[in-house]
Amino acid sequence: MLAFDYRNCLSEAVKQHGVSPDDLAGALRRYPEVHKTVVLKARNPELPLGFIRLPFDREGLPDILALARRTRNRFDTFVVAGIGGSALGNLALQGALRDRYWNLRSLKERGGRPRLFVLDNIDPESMKSFLETVDLRRTMINVISKAGTTAECLAVFFVIWQKLQKAVGAKKARSHVVLTTDKEKGFLRELANEGFCEESFVIPRNVGGRFSVLSPVGLVSAACSGINVRALLDGAQEAAERFRVQDEAVSSEPSPAYLFAALNWLLYRQGKTMCVMMPYADALYGMADWFRQLWAESLGKEKDNAGNIVNVGPTPIKALGATDQHSQVQLYREGPNDKVVVFLSVEKYRAAVRIPPFKGHYLSGHTLNELIRAEERATRVALTRSQRPNMTIRFPRIDERSVGEFIFMMELATAYAGELFNINAFNQPGVELAKNYTYALLGRDGYQNYLEELNAFPE
Amino acid sequence: MLAFDYRNCLSEAVKQHGVSPDDLAGALRRYPEVHKTVVLKARNPELPLGFIRLPFDREGLPDILALARRTRNRFDTFVVAGIGGSALGNLALQGALRDRYWNLRSLKERGGRPRLFVLDNIDPESMKSFLETVDLRRTMINVISKAGTTAECLAVFFVIWQKLQKAVGAKKARSHVVLTTDKEKGFLRELANEGFCEESFVIPRNVGGRFSVLSPVGLVSAACSGINVRALLDGAQEAAERFRVQDEAVSSEPSPAYLFAALNWLLYRQGKTMCVMMPYADALYGMADWFRQLWAESLGKEKDNAGNIVNVGPTPIKALGATDQHSQVQLYREGPNDKVVVFLSVEKYRAAVRIPPFKGHYLSGHTLNELIRAEERATRVALTRSQRPNMTIRFPRIDERSVGEFIFMMELATAYAGELFNINAFNQPGVELAKNYTYALLGRDGYQNYLEELNAFPE
């Protein structure tokens, strides 16, 4: 079970830069009301809080596990074509739960599981390199787009599809394709209905992209990589139960998910406008990147729920310990006191590496484990001494259960934070305009009127 | 030559969120004075502005190129053991100037050049995976630390050194080691003097880590990877000459380096406390990470030059186009107007990829190149329309010359910005405390007194 330590963001630890006892008490009093609001919204399948039910939803699991069994030893490479919420969770799970240099290992060392490539950009240089690097005859591609219309995702798919047909023939190419999309609507679902794929999976309509990692969006590539997705869901489910997401009435003892939301909200209001997530583990860096979308896109909003212009939202930042001590900590300690640092800490790493004797050096006889933990503790204390608020989420160990728990805790915290900020955490109106401009530039029907607007600006 | 377009951060484009004509004129009037200060400091070899001379300093180049020739086809893997300024530049050069999936290509496809691993963390899980993945018999390790004492770097070296000895024998192991450190002092220099390595290189004493990529720190791994380091230096040198770094007297026409510094300084004072560097090219993402250290560690300072407590400094953030449109742009457009976005744009990518016909889809017949450029333009206009200040640095093409120019422009801009912020851009006093705590926890002699201080804080 994760532990959440927030002592270093209270005024007792960091004076006026921390949360005062009164402010904390005030926010905690709101826990039952905020929790109830979120739970009631989640009960309504028309509202986009479907993420809350994902840990309990095992209906699609057998098909996912069957695909993973079928593809084992058959494909050397698994490609995700997706972007944003259809990519960041996949990368985060892979980073956390597979070997650091997974893609450099042999198929045998990988236990017959494929390498994973997440093509979440449309850079032509990267695409060229990708096509030169992989053997499409042994490659499966999972195209992921909820609406089924995402330009980046489709462009990547069209490019690979043509090469795949050349490599294995038009008929067999379909057996290399998995589509993950809406149950009924959209371009990808139409393809699936035409039998264009080996298999298709459904993204529940009330689950938004950035909340979808525990749906087939994240689970399919994870299962094919040999990640124990059942344990991942178990970890999330236990957290969900402990956080009482099925109870509308909770006592006043707030869960870590609520505490995380409330403290970040209070700190934001005190001018800590940036939230730095800093894992002390390479494996969790992808989780910080996943959180970055979750937090930014959910809470960064122009209008509050009453329609007032508020232009609100903390800026999430990813950092990596110990590495970024040599890059960012100077700023974090001495620059403006405008951040809260969220350390992700690991009690027990999955490996232990001894530092051998070398000419009587003081590091000899220690382990890398001791060193990285010492650096984390040192940085935490140094920040606290400089009155920089910080908090720590401790993983007993990085494994499927703790990762599932973390994911669910952050997602629920985001929903709570949306209520505290009084904004809609589940839409993203701010990205539409650029999409429409892009359509206009590419000549998509119905978007010509945006061209004039666009051309009023210098290129 | 890079182009610098800053129209979208002026008040004409983004109203009160932009720089006013008066403020701009005021900052530009200071150009001759600020330039003169920087140039005079750089002329004094005792002051830490040695980076300015690096593009002109070709003295060490023959040895670097000779090493690259000697190692070609001999080593399959090149490891950098370094952290912060001894790692970020290496990663940035590799990302920009070598193939995206370089480490997955065969030695032949790489032209006999090695794979590159930059071990800039002390995560035991990553180290275990690394040791299982590479064949040390065909691995060269470049240990980089200016002081020669960096704990992370030495720990990594000690671990690999022991395994290397086992793999190839104590005597031959030395021929796998390259040391890059101070000319005379420190633990690594002592090793070099004992003949502990195949080759050693010198980091000039007046060049700080984050300004050292154009010294042997960055050049050795780049040259061994087949990057044309001469062209890299040429690009930097041409920029340096165009920016008149050898002239103390300049006319009032400011260089892009000064403009970048001045605009960012003015925008910071207007509350744009974050600087998001967002390349529209996977290859330049590492450059944004390199810039992140340069900007944060140089400008994030507690005290100004007069000793006043100012706690100043912009927070640099890395983002990636088009990918982060689906993660961060919602916040950038609708959240608080507290950022300036610096787009890194590419005129001509090193590959062109056509999107094949697919069921009459509107994307068919376009190229990925058109798509990514359309998205960049769309995002720029969407941000500008929301009065979010932004600027664009355009690479005609990503190659050694343009990358060298970019590096030098950013370094010089940092020196200018230090003068404008009136702080010392070349020290990092804020990182010492955590280092001392770490030493204390590991029992290094002379640091025991920090233990008590540390233990006053909860673990």
Cβ-count burial B145-174 (b if 16+ within 10 Å, e if not)? bbebbbbbbbbbbbbbbbebbebbeeeebb
Q: Residues of A with CB below 8 A from B353's CB?
A: 124, 127-128, 159
Residue B106 is part of which domain span?
58-203
User: Are the beta carbons of A121 and B323 separated by less than 8 Å?
Assistant: yes
Distance, in Å, from the CA atom of A52 to the CA atom of A57, rounded to the nearest integer, reads 10
Average pLDDT, chain B: 97
**Count of Cβ atoms closer than 10 Å to residue A111 Cβ:** 11
**Which among B177, B203, B229 is the end of a domain?**
B203
Distance, in Å, from the CA atom of B165 to the CA atom of B158, rounded to the nearest integer, reads 11
CA closest to A423 among chain B residues: B335
Residue partners of A65: CB distance under 8 A and separation at least 6: A223, A229, A230
Grouping H, G, I as helix, E, B as strand and the rest as coil, residue A247 is: coil
| Among the listed residues B321, B102, B286, B105, the one whose alpha carbon sits nearest the alpha carbon of residue A122 | B321
- Does one domain contain both B321 and B404? yes
Q: Residues of A with CB below 8 A from B116's CB?
A: none
Distance, in Å, from the CA atom of A148 to the CA atom of A374, rounded to the nearest integer, reads 47
Task: Express as a percent the part of chain B with pLDDT over 90.
Answer: 98
With cut-offs at 50, 70 and 90, classify the pLDDT of residue B249: very high
A76 found inside a domain: yes
- Does one domain contain both A299 and A381? yes
pTM over 0.90: yes
Report residue B279: phi and psi, to 5°.
-70, 140
Report residue A342: phi and psi, to 5°.
-105, 105
- Does one domain contain both A352 and A416? yes
8 A C-beta contact, residue A389 and residue A12: no
Distance, in Å, from the CA atom of B334 to the CA atom of A312, rounded to the nearest integer, reads 8
- Does one domain contain both A29 and A65? no
| Among the listed residues A364, A398, A142, A110, the one whose alpha carbon sits nearest the alpha carbon of residue A279 | A398
With cut-offs at 50, 70 and 90, classify the pLDDT of residue B458: confident
Q: Mean per-residue pLDDT for A36-60?
A: 97
Q: Residues of B with CB below 8 A from A158's CB?
A: 355-356, 358, 361, 363-364
B330 found inside a domain: yes
A47 found inside a domain: no
User: Are the beta carbons of B327 and A454 separated by less than 8 Å?
Assistant: no
Residue partners of A34: CB distance under 8 A and separation at least 6: A258, A416, A419, A420
Q: Residues of B with CB below 8 A from A123's CB?
A: 280-283, 349, 368, 372
**Count of Cβ atoms closer than 10 Å to residue A405 Cβ:** 26
8 A C-beta contact, residue B278 and residue B344: yes
8 A C-beta contact, residue B343 and residue B285: no
CA closest to A119 among chain B residues: B323
| Among the listed residues A13, A9, A15, A4, the one whose alpha carbon sits nearest the alpha carbon of residue A267 | A9
- Using a 10 angstrom Cβ sphere, with 0-12 exposed, 13-18 middle and 19 or more buried, the burial of residue B131 is middle
8 A C-beta contact, residue B290 and residue B213: yes
pLDDT tens for A278-318 read: 999 999 999 999 999 999 999 999 999 999 999 999 999 99
Q: Residues of B with CB below 8 A from A325's CB?
A: 84, 431, 434
Write down the number of H helices and E strands in chain A.
18, 12
Grouping H, G, I as helix, E, B as strand and the rest as coil, residue A398 is: coil
Per the structure block, which two tokens stand in for B154?
A: 């030495």
With cut-offs at 50, 70 and 90, classify the pLDDT of residue A94: very high
- Does one domain contain both A405 and A455? no
CA closest to B373 among chain A residues: A438
DSSP code string of B68-130: HHHHTTT-SEEEEE--GGGTHHHHHHHHHHS-TTGGGS-TTTTTTPPEEEEE----HHHHHHH
Q: What is the pLDDT of residue B150?
A: 94
Cα A101–Cα A105–Cα A106 angle in degrees, nearest 5: 170
Residue partners of A171: CB distance under 8 A and separation at least 6: none
Average pLDDT, chain A: 97
Grouping H, G, I as helix, E, B as strand and the rest as coil, residue B19 is: strand
CA distances from B97 to A245, B21, B92, B115, B281 (A): 50, 38, 8, 13, 12
8 A C-beta contact, residue A309 and residue A358: no
Distance, in Å, from the CA atom of B192 to the CA atom of B174, rounded to the nearest integer, reads 10
Write down the number of H helices and E strands in chain B.
18, 12
Length of chain A: 459
User: Are the beta carbons of A300 and B331 separated by less than 8 Å?
Assistant: yes
H-type alpha helices, B343-399 = 368-385
8 A C-beta contact, residue A328 and residue A319: yes
* ipTM at complex level: 0.97
- Using a 10 angstrom Cβ sphere, with 0-12 exposed, 13-18 middle and 19 or more buried, the burial of residue B106 is exposed
Grouping H, G, I as helix, E, B as strand and the rest as coil, residue A381 is: helix
8 A C-beta contact, residue B265 and residue B340: no
- Does one domain contain both B196 and B273? no
Helix or strand (DSSP H, E) at B442 = none
CATH (domain of A159)? 3.40.50.10490
pLDDT tens for B119-176 read: 999 999 999 999 999 999 999 999 999 999 999 999 999 999 999 999 999 999 999 9
User: Are the beta carbons of A353 and B429 separated by less than 8 Å?
Assistant: no
Query: Is B326 designated active site?
Result: yes
Query: Is B435 designated active site?
Result: yes
Q: Residues of B with CB below 8 A from A83's CB?
A: 322-323, 326
Q: What is the pLDDT of residue A252?
A: 74
Per the structure block, which two tokens stand in for A283?
A: 């494996």
- Does one domain contain both B363 and B421? yes
Q: How far apart are the first and last CA of chain A?
A: 52
Q: Mean per-residue pLDDT for A131-159?
A: 97
Closest Cβ–Cβ partner in B7, B104, B301 for A104: B104
- Does one domain contain both A408 and A440? no
Length of chain B: 459
With cut-offs at 50, 70 and 90, classify the pLDDT of residue A266: very high
**Count of Cβ atoms closer than 10 Å to residue B360 Cβ:** 6
Any B CB within 8 A of A310 CB: no
A248 found inside a domain: no
User: Are the beta carbons of A378 and B329 separated by less than 8 Å?
Assistant: no
Residue partners of B356: CB distance under 8 A and separation at least 6: A158, A159, A161, A162, B364
Q: Residues of A with CB below 8 A from B339's CB?
A: 315
CA closest to B98 among chain A residues: A129
- Does one domain contain both A264 and A393? yes
CB pairs under 8 A between A and B: 411
B229 found inside a domain: no
CA closest to B446 among chain A residues: A362
Q: What is the pLDDT of residue B186?
A: 94
User: Are the beta carbons of B349 and A125 separated by less than 8 Å?
Assistant: yes
Any B CB within 8 A of A193 CB: no
8 A C-beta contact, residue B36 and residue B249: yes
Per the structure block, which two tokens stand in for A344?
A: 């992700």
Position B252 pLDDT exceeds 80: no
A410 found inside a domain: yes
Q: What is the pLDDT of residue A314?
A: 98
pLDDT tens for B433-454 read: 999 999 999 999 999 999 999 9
User: Are the beta carbons of A430 and B369 separated by less than 8 Å?
Assistant: no
Cα B389–Cα B390–Cα B391 angle in degrees, nearest 5: 140
User: Are the beta carbons of B158 and A364 separated by less than 8 Å?
Assistant: yes
**Which among A160, A176, A203 is the end of a domain?**
A203
Q: What is the pLDDT of residue B28?
A: 97
- Does one domain contain both A20 and A125? no
A220 found inside a domain: no
| Among the listed residues B140, B12, B15, B137, the one whose alpha carbon sits nearest the alpha carbon of residue B71 | B140
Q: Count up the domains in chain B and report the number.
A: 2
Q: Mean per-residue pLDDT for B206-234?
A: 98
Q: What is the pLDDT of residue A410?
A: 98
Closest Cβ–Cβ partner in A151, A283, A431 for B329: A431
Q: Mean per-residue pLDDT for A32-42?
A: 98
Closest Cβ–Cβ partner in A326, A334, A363 for B158: A363
Residue partners of A370: CB distance under 8 A and separation at least 6: B441, B442
Q: Mean per-residue pLDDT for B302-306?
A: 98
The residue written with tokens 């995402």 in the block is A150
| Among the listed residues A370, A394, A325, the one whose alpha carbon sits nearest the alpha carbon of residue B439 | A370
Q: Mean per-residue pLDDT for A68-92?
A: 97
CA distances from A403 to A229, A286, B325 (A): 11, 12, 26
- Report the gap between the CA of B250 and the closest CA in chain A (Å): 30
Q: What is the pLDDT of residue B251?
A: 82
With cut-offs at 50, 70 and 90, classify the pLDDT of residue A43: very high
Query: Is B35 designated active site?
Result: no
Any B CB within 8 A of A313 CB: yes
- Does one domain contain both B165 and B93? yes
User: Are the beta carbons of B124 and A338 separated by less than 8 Å?
Assistant: no
- Report the gap between the CA of B278 and the closest CA in chain A (Å): 13
If you ran DSSP here, which 8-state letter would residue A113 be given?
Answer: P
8 A C-beta contact, residue A2 and residue A395: yes
pLDDT tens for B75-116 read: 999 999 999 999 999 999 999 999 999 999 999 999 999 999
Per the structure block, which two tokens stand in for B446?
A: 């002379």
B51 found inside a domain: no
Q: Residues of B with CB below 8 A from A311's CB?
A: 334-337
- Does one domain contain both B276 and B411? yes
Any B CB within 8 A of A281 CB: yes
**Which among B182, B203, B224 is the end of a domain?**
B203
If you ran DSSP here, which 8-state letter would residue B386 be given?
Answer: T
Q: What is the pLDDT of residue A251?
A: 82
